[in-house]
Amino acid sequence: MENHLLELRSVDVSYGDAQAVGNFSFYIDKGKIITLVGANGAGKSTILNAISKIIPTSSGEIFFSGMSTAGLKPEDIVKLGICQVPEGRHLFTKLTVLENLELGAYPVHTRPFMKDSIEKAFTLFPILKERINQSSGTLSGGEQQMLAIARALMARPKLLMLDEPSLGLAPKVVSLLFKTIKKLNNDGVTILLVEQNVHQAMEIADYAYVLQTGTCKMDGHCHDLLKNSDFKNTILGIRE
């Protein structure tokens, strides 16, 4: 049997005495888009940060390509091929678009591909080419999100984790962003998408996990969940 690209088995994460994620298991296979949805405080960012080793797990196991990531540091995770675009983007706002992209190629093994990666970023996000020498703090919210994704791609990830990329963006910009995420996936990048924008996330994802207070409440193929009356009722708030 082939290994999953990423697998979490019974993961617990606590902040002090407060458990933020409890007994969470899930997996992502290569080539898919998986989405984690849930309200504020459900534990979505905590799961991404645990995968990235930004915060420790208190129990459970995490595997990438069949290998346990126990004991690894955040920089080892990037080297393995997992990149996270954090909530709030965290760009270097005084630096230009090009400088932000160049800094994205910080893992040594990605540097020889830097020129090629920048070309690819500009093909995926043509607006960034037009803004190449502009400081990133002067970009619109949508452009900044695109730059944050493009910068993560400079590290040539096998798995790209996006934490609420649509946050604060106008509906038209959100549609374009989601289309671009789908395109990126079609180009071969596996994606873990965390969203509060449940409906749109599920339109591009293959499979969804619904989190509530740190545990998985429901999961399923997006096309099934979108037809499921319990899901529509409790998660999407649609009464039939």
Ligand X SMILES: Nc1ncnc2c1ncn2[C@@H]1O[C@H](COP(=O)(O)OP(=O)(O)OP(=O)(O)O)[C@@H](O)[C@H]1O
Sites of contact with Mg ion (CB under 5 A): 44-45
Q: Is 198 in the site for ligand X (CB under 6 A)?
A: no
Closest contact distance (angstroms) between CB of 195 and ligand X is 9
Q: Which stretch binds ligand X (CB under 6 A): 43-51, 77-85, 135-143, 202-210?
A: 43-51
Q: Is 46 in the site for ligand X (CB under 6 A)?
A: yes
Q: Is 1 in the site for ligand X (CB under 6 A)?
A: no
Residue placing its CB nearer to ligand X in the complex, 38 or 104: 38
Residue placing its CB nearer to ligand X in the complex, 38 or 165: 38
Cβ atoms within 10 Å of 14's Cβ, excluding its own: 17
Residues 83-122 as x/- pattern, contact with ligand X by CB under 6 A:
----x-----------------------------------
d(CA 113, CA 70): 29
Q: Which stretch binds ligand X (CB under 6 A): 39-47, 73-81, 114-122, 144-152?
A: 39-47
Q: Alpha helix locations (H) across 64-111?
A: 74-80, 97-104
Q: Is 51 in the site for ligand X (CB under 6 A)?
A: no
Helix H or strand E segment including 10: strand 6-15
Q: Which does 200 bind (CB under 5 to 8 A by kind): ligand X, Mg ion, none?
A: none
Beta carbons of 177 and 197 less than 8 angstroms apart: no
Residue of 4, 5, 8 whose CA lies nearest to 47: 8
Q: Which does 41 bind (CB under 5 to 8 A by kind): ligand X, Mg ion, none?
A: ligand X
Residue of 105, 154, 158 whose CA lies nearest to 125: 154
Q: Is 131 in the site for ligand X (CB under 6 A)?
A: no
Residue placing its CB nearer to ligand X in the complex, 77 or 194: 194
Cβ atoms within 10 Å of 188's Cβ, excluding its own: 9
Give the amino acid at 5.
L
d(CA 193, CA 76): 21
d(CA 154, CA 189): 12
Which spans of this chain sit near ligand X (rule: CB under 6 A)? 15, 18, 20, 38, 40-46, 87, 196
